[in-house]
Structure 1
Amino acid sequence: MIRHVWQSWRSVRPGEALVFIGAALLFSAIDLTSLLELRVGDQLPQVLARHLSLSLVSCTLLMLCWLPAARSSPIHPLRKHRLVAATLLGAVLSMAVIYPLAAALPWPSLCEVYAQTHPNTRCSMFRATAIAGDALWLFMPALMIVGVMEFHTVRRRQEQAAQDLLREHSQLRRHALAAQLAALQAQVDPALLFDALVSVEHAYEQQSPDASARLERLIRHLRVALPRLPRPGTSTPGPQAGATLGGEAELIASYLDLMADLGRTPPTLDCDLGPHAGLPLPPMLLLPLVQHVMQHAEPSRCWLRADPHLTLGFDRPGLAGDDAALAALAALRERLAVLDVRLAAHSEPDRTEFTFTFAP
């Protein structure tokens, strides 16, 4: 209990202290409105110092009583009762301190200034009823201040919870999409697999000297793609599922080799990854573009650069300008937006480049 009180006092924020200082100034201003009707003369600084000091002491005690209740559990069912009780305790404690302090101060009060011109006025108010009345007078505005601060605290907490929920939802969406893309990338096209197997079978039947090489290239492609499948009995990809730039380049290379075995004329792949080969990469970024280009054009050269952005280029213009390309890029951009990846296409008379920009 004592530790909680001490820690709550140490955790006071400048904004909270300013609220109670402002309340003290407001209370002083209310008391000092009587100065407009009195001739204080040279005693004005002393009167101001007296009432301002008493108000500051009173609001400081209110803040010290409020802090332990404010720093208590925000979801406790009795939190509101604690705040009301702390405010009431602060008001009573303030009056208990203010009355002896006021008697000890050498500065005159407004009542004493008024008594100088009205001899029958009595300023001695050390009565239980007076203390109770003043405590109630202080309790009501203090409770309003505490209520407003609690409202802002609850609102700020709700906004923070909403932001955390949105951030968590966004992360879950990214993880779910990454898992879906990894599974999609791991799916070998059945038609492609069937054609590749038929090609290998014909090569062996004809005793072609490159039959074993074709089989090795097919096995290589399957080895590169299949590790992205989830492990049996789990819903997430295995340890090899985390795609890297080097792994995606190897997947593209194996795909192009497979296209050559099927009688297509794939482009030559030029990779310049430098030290970025191990860079983590969301799956299903590069291969869909290569497949799209292979379906709609016959480039003779393809290059992959990673300095400073990731760039996939082809030596054919206009690959991103037709309706099919725009539809494919729009679908890909929609998926990449969840992963905080931006895709830009740029076409020149002798080339088309796709640039990926990753959020920091």
Structure 2
Amino acid sequence: MIRHVLHAWRSVRPAEVLAFVTAALLFGAIDLASLLELRVGDQLPQVLARHLLVPLVSCIVLLLCWLPAARSSPIHPARRQRLVAATLIGSVLTIAVVYPLAAALPWPSLCDIYAATHGKPKCMNFRLSAVIGDTLWVFMPALMIVGVLEFRAVRRRQDQAAQDLLREHSQLRRHALGSRLAALQAQVDPALLFDALVAVEQAYGRQDATASARLERLIRHLRVALPRLRDAGATLGGEAELIASYLDLLRDLNGTPPAFDCELGSHGATQLPPMLLLPLVQRALRLGHPQHCWLKVGGGITLGFDQEGLCSDDADLASLRERLAVLGAKLVCSSGAGRTEFILDIPS
């Protein structure tokens, strides 16, 4: 209990101190409004000091009583009751401190000046009704201040919870994207490999001079594609090699894949998410019959085809755009003049 109280006092924030001090000075200024009706003469500095010191002492006592309740569990079912009880205890302790302090201060109060002017009894005569009234006078404004601070604390916790939820949602989306990319990385088309193996076997069977080259191209494709089953990332050069080996396999199967030109310069080691380029090539071959395909870097990663009309939205392109959106990247497609270009803008 004592440790919690000490920890609560040490955790006080400047904004909380400012709120209590501002409220104390405000209520002290309200009392000083009576200066307009009284003539205090050369006692003005003492009156000002008294009517500002007493509220400041009161705010310190209230702050020390409020902090342990404010630093209690924010989800405790009795938190509101604790705050009200702490405010009430602080109000009682405030009166217990202020009464002796006011009696010990040599400076006159406005009430003292008013009483001396009109021949009335001194203001600090102890009466139970006055103590109860002063306690309630302290308790009600203090409860309002505590309520405002608690409302701000609740809003701050809600905002933090919303930020944590958004961060968790973003992490879940990234995990889901990672799983989908892993699944895409594992997509080594078994039908394609089976057909390639059969073609190699038939070439060797008829003693085709190209049999050895076909086998080398198949091995090359497997060397490029299979490591993606375990690697989490990719490079631009690796993705270009994957496209080239994939098109070579299609060519060995008596297909008519497009010729592939690659101009990467010094960007071959650029990191990028895997399986962003090959799906675009496969989609272009499914939708049309391009004869030429090129990959270059300059103001983005450009994958182009010598055929128009490949920008139409479909499920594959929508899925690719969704993955890019999670990564904070963009895909722009332009088509016309006998060509289509996909430009990937991936943040570094």
User: Does the alignment reach a TM-score above 0.5?
Assistant: yes
Q: Which residue of 2 aligns with 1:233?
A: none
1:61-210 to 2 correspondence within 5 Å? 61-127=61-127, 129-210=129-210
Unaligned runs of 5+ in 2: none
Greater mean deviation of Cα atoms: 281-290 or 110-119 = 281-290
Q: Which residue of 2 aligns with 1:316?
A: 306
How far has the Cα of 1:63 moved from its partner? 1.4
SS at match of 2:345: strand
Note the alpha carbon deviations across 1:151-182, whole angstroms, 9 max, x for none.
22112212211221122112211211231132
Structure 1 partner of 2:269: 277
Contact between 1:314 and 1:351, CA under 8 Å: does it hold in 2?
yes
CA contact (8 A) 2:330 2:345 kept: yes
Q: Measured at CA, do residues 94 and 299 of structure 1 come closer, stay the same or move farther in structure 2, by a change above 3 Å?
A: farther
Task: Report how many residues are paired.
Answer: 346
1:54–1:98 contact (8 Å) kept in structure 2: yes
> Residues of 1 paired with 2:347 and 2:61: CA distance?
50
Structure 1 CA distance, aligned partners of 2:315 and 2:179? Answer: 23
Please give the alpha-carbon distance, in whole angstroms, between the structure 2 residues aligned to 1:330 and 1:265. Answer: 24
Structure-2 separation of matches of 1:95 and 1:110? 18
Q: Do the aligned partners of 1:183 and 1:228 also contact (CA within 8 Å) in 2?
A: no
- Cα separation, partners in 2 of 1:285 and 1:265, compared to 1, 3 Å: closer
Cα 1:357–1:140, aligned 2, differ >3 Å: closer, same or farther? same
Q: Is the CA contact 1:91–1:139 (under 8 Å) kept in the aligned structure 2?
A: yes
State whether residues 318 and 352 of structure 1, in contact with CA within 8 Å, keep that contact through their aligned partners in structure 2: yes
Distance 1:276 1:29, change over 3 A: farther
Residues 299 and 14 (structure 1), Cα distance of their counterparts in 2 relative to 1, 3 Å cut? farther
In structure 2, what is the Cα distance between the partners aligned to 1:11 and 1:62?
Answer: 15
Amino acid corresponding to residue 344 of structure 1 in structure 2: V
* Mean Cα deviation higher: 335-344 or 40-49: 40-49
Q: Secondary structure at the match of 2:343?
A: strand
The CA distance in 2 between the partners of 1:332 and 1:185, in whole Å, is: 14
Q: What's 1:343 paired with?
A: 331
Contact 1:299 1:314 in 2 (8 A): no
Note if 1:262 corresponds to 2:250: no
Report the counterpart of residue 49 of structure 1 in structure 2: 49
* Residue of structure 2 equivalent to 1:249: 240
Give the secondary-structure state (helix, strand or coil) at the position aligned to 1:116.
helix
Gaps of 5+ in 1: 230-237
Structure 2 distance, partners of 1:150, 1:271, is: 62
Do structure 1's residue 287 and structure 2's residue 278 form an aligned pair? Answer: yes
In structure 2, relative to structure 1, the CA distance for the partners of 1:318 and 1:11 (3 Å cut) is farther
**2: distance between equivalents of 1:218 and 1:128?**
100
Q: Is the 8 A contact 1:243 1:283 kept in 2?
A: yes
Whether 2:23 is the aligned partner of 1:23: answer yes
- Kindly indicate whether the alpha-carbon contact (under 8 Å) linking 2:236 and 2:267 is maintained by their aligned counterparts in 1: no
Corresponding residue for 1:232? none
Q: TM-score, normalised by structure 1?
A: 0.83
Deviations 1:62-95 (Å, cap 9, x if unpaired)?
1122122222222334433332232223222222
- The CA deviation at 1:351 is 5.9
Matched, 1:334 2:322: yes
Q: 1:299 to 1:55 in 2, by over 3 A?
A: farther
Aligned match of 2:294 in 274, 290, 302? Answer: 302
- 1:141 deviates by 1.8
Q: Matched residue of 2:214: which SS?
A: helix
CA, structure 1 residues 33+254, in 2 after alignment: closer, same or farther (shift >3 Å)?
Answer: same
Q: Which residue of 1 aligns with 2:38?
A: 38
Moved more, 327-336 or 166-175: 327-336
% identity of equivalent residues: 65
Distance 2:120 2:25 in 1: 31
Contact 2:236–2:269 (CA under 8 A) maintained in structure 1: yes
Give the residue type in structure 1 aligned to 2:328: D
